[in-house]
Amino acid sequence: MRTIEADPPTDAGIILRRLSQYAEFSPEELAFLIEQAATTEKLSAGAELIVECEPMNRPHVLLSGWGCRYRTLADGRRQIFEFILPGDMYGLCHRPQAIALTNAITLTPCVIADASPLGEAVLERPQDYPGLAAACATTASLDEAYLLNQLMRVGRQTAYERLAHLFLEIAHRLSVVGLADGERLSMPLTQEIIADAMGLSVVHLNRTLQQLRRDKLIEFKNGSARILQPDRLAAIGDFRVPQVTSNECVPRRPFGGGTFSLAD
């Protein structure tokens, strides 16, 4: 299941690409970040990243592939809480002796990097790494924002609306790390996975996806998706790009719906 790989394979840049969105880094911080991708590990799909109720060990960065955090009920029903996308960190927690609140697994073959030094720097000596600390705090807040979005979708939106919102959110997250252009994005999830994330049955999810395709809103083709009408999707799913740090912020207005460009 696990293969240690000493040579940095390709993507150390994805960490930079991601985190440099959220703060300015000193040259030392940059060097420190690049080092994080020194030791990487390849995982096949279905590998355990985090096990619920066990102590959290080292924080990691996902360099490529998709993962998710989830929990199951006693009878096997599964709820996926959030997807872990390339450039995301997982396993970082402020609390000492923290135990995991959820499971996490890989959904596709993945490459991960041990980010223990980064985690330690941010938690133990934030004053020495202000840029890194700020960037990690921002990613943590974004994670919370995605979790809240997820709850909003599952709690108060129809299946159709949920999917519109989900695909825009994923497209946006992927575009931040350069894995989605204006319309096309990679979408390696099976319908069962999407269903477990959206709180739907596979059958109903399948039919709702068909509806989206029939309405010419999204296309799917062997592992990738194409957002055909981002504006209509945004209106349907009431999607807005998450805003976590103070800049402008469009206040919520009924049916106003901030227009959304996948390019940004």
Partner DNA sequence: CGTCTCCTTGATGATTCTCAATGCGCGTGG
Partner DNA sequence: CCACGCGCATTGAGAATCATCAAGGAGACG
Provide the binding-site residues for its own copies, judged by CB under 8 A. Answer: 52-55, 71-79, 81, 93-99, 101-102, 134, 137-138, 140-141, 144-145, 147-148, 150-152, 154-157, 198-199, 238, 242-246, 249-257
Q: Which stretch binds DNA (CB under 7 A): 6-14, 122-130, 138-146, 208-216?
A: 208-216
Q: Which residue's CB is nearer to DNA, number 92 or number 105?
A: 105
DSSP string, 203-221: HHHHHHHHHHHHTTSEEEE
Between 7 and 75, name the residue whose CB sits nearer to its own copies: 75
79 is an interface residue for DNA by CB under 7 A: no
List the one residue out of 239, 214, 208 whose CA is nearest residue 228.
Answer: 214
Question: What's the order of all strands across the beta sheet hosting 48-50?
Answer: 48-50, 103-106, 67-72, 78-84
| Structural contact between residues 12 and 62, judged by C-beta atoms closer than 8 angstroms | no
Backbone angles phi, psi at 227, to 5 degrees: -80, 115
Q: DSSP letter at 107?
A: S
Q: Is 190 in the site for DNA (CB under 7 A)?
A: yes
Partner that binds at residue 229, options its own copies, DNA, none, CB closer than 5 to 8 Å by kind? none
CA 136 to chain centroid, in Å, comes to 14
The option from DNA, its own copies, none interacting with 79 (CB < 5 to 8 A, set by class) reads its own copies
- Angle in degrees, CA 28, 34, 35, rounded to 5: 90
Q: How far is the CB of 113 from its own copies (least distance, A)?
A: 23
- For DNA, give the closer residue by CB, 4 or 74: 74
Check binding of 158 to DNA (CB under 7 A): yes
Q: Which of 125, 204, 216, 252 lies at the binding interface for DNA (CB under 7 A)?
A: 204
What's the closest the beta carbon of residue 40 comes to its own copies, in angstroms? 28
Question: Are 232 and 259 spatial neighbours (Cβ–Cβ below 8 Å)?
Answer: no
Least distance to DNA, CB of residue 49, Å: 18
Q: How many CA atoms lie within 13 A of 111 on its CB side?
A: 18
* 159 is a site residue for DNA (CB under 7 A): yes
8 A C-beta contact, residue 162 and residue 172: no
Q: Which does 151 bind (CB under 5 to 8 A by kind): DNA, its own copies, none?
A: its own copies
| Chain contacts with DNA (rule: CB under 7 A) | 158-160, 190-192, 199-210
